[in-house]
Copies of this chain bind each other. A is one copy, B any other.
Amino acid sequence: MTTDKLQRLKDLLGEVWDIHMAAAVLGWDQETYMPPAGAQARGQQLSTLGRIAHLKFTSEEIGRLLEDLAPEAADWDPDSDEARLVKVTRREYLKATKVPPDFVAESAKVASRAMMAWREAKAKADFSIFEPHLARIVELRQEYANFFAPYEHIYDPLLDDFEPGLKTADVQRIFNALRPQQVALVRAIAERPQVDDAFLHQPFDQQKQWEFGVEVITKFGFDWQRGRQDKSAHPFTTSFSVNDVRITTRIDPNYIGTGLFGTMHECGHALYELGVAPELERTPLGHGASLAIHESQSRLWENLVGRSRPFWEHFYPRLQETFPAQLGNIPRETFYKGINRVQPSLIRTEADEATYNLHIMLRLELEIALLEGTVAVKDLPEAWNAKMKEYLGVVPSDDAQGVLQDIHWSMGSIGYFSTYALGNLISAQWWECIQADIPNLNDQIRNGEFGDLLAWLREHIHRHGAKFEPQELVEKVTGRGIDPAPYMRYLYAKYGEIYALEQ
């Protein structure tokens, strides 16, 4: 009886999953190959699939099955796939059914207009064009939060969409501990002689850049039978099944960093999705646990592996061979320092490891203030610039380089940004555990061997999919919750040496 109900639940969830996967294929095509005129119909197709998936997921039958299964599930092993399936599905079901379909439709319409306004505002560096749209989005997000009242903090329900179970107070506590240390590090580096990275900025053949990236991620363990890479304006990873995970990359003909580190970053996301246990597929557990956990994977491969000295001990000769004219005379150590150069800058997506989190903290603080109503939308550019000055010591000359730089808010995504910084922190937490479990990891990397590393990630993180909430997973693996200390230890060790900082 229970078995029947569980199977019926899985069948219904599988159908919803298939629709989401179909939508993912349409989204991938939209960003990679779709001809320009195809956009309007594609929007309609995605909206239809989204509506059908929502209606099917919020059906009374799924609600009833969850009700029926809940008491029995209480007796199951709480970490079993089945218990977690019921728990996570119930959580998502309750969230999905609390938001009226009309509200979802209105939000989509507002976001669609806001994105157009944002593009124009950014092109003209004129915040006033975007301002009324953002004001409406903030209102809608406040309204959204109130569907989930009571809450500790109005920002909690927004954060919860990206990081299940995480509270605003948790993130504030973590970031408050982190901020002074990050600011101090950046200031200390600023007082030291700067390293050179001019050699990274010169023409590099695009096809060779592509092929080098492919060579690297093939060694990482990217399985070309179960995935592929294409090009897109904004790199991303998407998954159509555990056996079909797609990444995209962007190659800059005049700067090698974009393609190289972008490819490793997306590969990190892809390896996560490729490592989810197949038996979790076609259920809400069949993908990564949260955006922060996902980012902990992409940043681990991009930074902890890809910007490390052992990595380049293996790959630099190959890179020099590939680009002899550009890098033949650049010593490995110079290259290593160049790719790790710290330079406070205006744009988040171009920020280095030492300054990146400061861009995020600024955004989180402003998002919270907007939601609380303590900063008005019209005062946002001023608040932005003041925080840039305080945290990074640089101030944008116009709003295109400042408050208008990111697309997220125009899409109605408020609550998303902190996941990037949390991902950085978590990646360093994994890294300390991995170093303890694989004592000769650096030697392996020096030999271009990544099998043990990937196996560790699969065993401890990937295979669980979304069974555990992010904080829970971090605790399960590292013995404590999300913690900024390992990341700061990592930054101080790395930059202390590169910039010869006093200890």
Q: Per-residue 0/1 for A355-376: is the Cβ within 8 Å of any B Cβ (1 yes, 0 no)?
A: 0000000000000000000000
Q: Are the CB atoms of A15 and B227 closer together than 8 Å?
A: no
Q: Are the CB atoms of A26 and B33 closer together than 8 Å?
A: no
Q: Are the CB atoms of A49 and B22 closer together than 8 Å?
A: yes
Interface 9-residue window, one of A37-45, A163-171, A440-448:
A37-45
Q: Are the CB atoms of B41 and A240 closer together than 8 Å?
A: yes
CA distance A33 to B223 in the complex (A): 15
A225 within 8 A of B: yes
- Chain A, range 32-77, C-beta contacts under 8 Å to B: 33-38, 40-42, 44-45, 48-49, 52
A21 within 8 A of B: yes
Write the nearest CB–CB distance from A398 to chain B, whole angstroms. 33
A399 within 8 A of B: no
Residue of B nearest to A224 (CB): B35
A243 within 8 A of B: yes
Write the nearest CB–CB distance from A49 to chain B, whole angstroms. 6
A489 within 8 A of B: no
Which residue in B19, B21, B52 is a CB contact (below 8 Å) of A41?
A: B21
CA distance A48 to B35 in the complex (A): 27
* Residues of chain B lying within 8 A (CB to CB) of residue A36: 225
- Chain A, range 1-32, C-beta contacts under 8 Å to B: 14-15, 18-19, 21-23, 25-26, 29
* Residues of chain B lying within 8 A (CB to CB) of residue A223: 37
Write the nearest CB–CB distance from A21 to chain B, whole angstroms. 5
Which residue in B23, B42, B49, B228 is a CB contact (below 8 Å) of A240?
A: B42
Number of copies: 2
* Residues of chain B lying within 8 A (CB to CB) of residue A225: 35-37
Q: Are the CB atoms of B45 and A18 closer together than 8 Å?
A: yes
Q: Are the CB atoms of B18 and A241 closer together than 8 Å?
A: no
Q: Per-residue 0/1 for A278-291: is the Cβ within 8 Å of any B Cβ (1 yes, 0 no)?
A: 00011000000000
CA distance A26 to B23 in the complex (A): 10
* Residues of chain B lying within 8 A (CB to CB) of residue A40: 241, 243
A353 within 8 A of B: no
Which residue in B14, B35, B44, B226 is a CB contact (below 8 Å) of A226?
A: B35
Q: State which size class the interface on A falls in.
A: 35 or more
Residue of B nearest to A45 (CB): B18
A26-B25, A33-B228, A37-B225 are contacts. A244–B48 as well, Cβ < 8 Å? Answer: no
- Chain A, range 338-397, C-beta contacts under 8 Å to B: none
Q: Are the CB atoms of B49 and A18 closer together than 8 Å?
A: yes
* Residues of chain B lying within 8 A (CB to CB) of residue A227: 35
A25-B29, A48-B15, A49-B19 are contacts. A35–B241 as well, Cβ < 8 Å? Answer: no
* Residues of chain B lying within 8 A (CB to CB) of residue A35: 224-228, 243-244
Q: Are the CB atoms of B48 and A19 closer together than 8 Å?
A: yes
Write the nearest CB–CB distance from A36 to chain B, whole angstroms. 5
A472 within 8 A of B: no
Residue of B nearest to A47 (CB): B18
A230 within 8 A of B: yes
CA distance A319 to B93 in the complex (A): 62
CA distance A228 to B34 in the complex (A): 8
Residue of B nearest to A282 (CB): B44
Known: A33-B228, A41-B243. 19 other contacts (CB 8 A): A14-B44, A15-B48, A18-B44, A18-B45, A22-B49, A35-B225, A35-B226, A37-B243, A37-B244, A38-B226, A38-B240, A41-B240, A41-B241, A41-B242, A42-B240, A42-B241, A42-B244, A44-B282, A45-B240
- Of the A-B pairs whose beta carbons lie under 8 Å apart in the complex, a sample of 21, sorted by A's number, is A14-B48, A15-B48, A15-B52, A18-B49, A22-B23, A22-B25, A22-B26, A22-B48, A35-B224, A35-B225, A35-B226, A35-B244, A37-B223, A37-B226, A38-B240, A38-B241, A41-B240, A41-B244, A42-B240, A44-B282, A45-B240
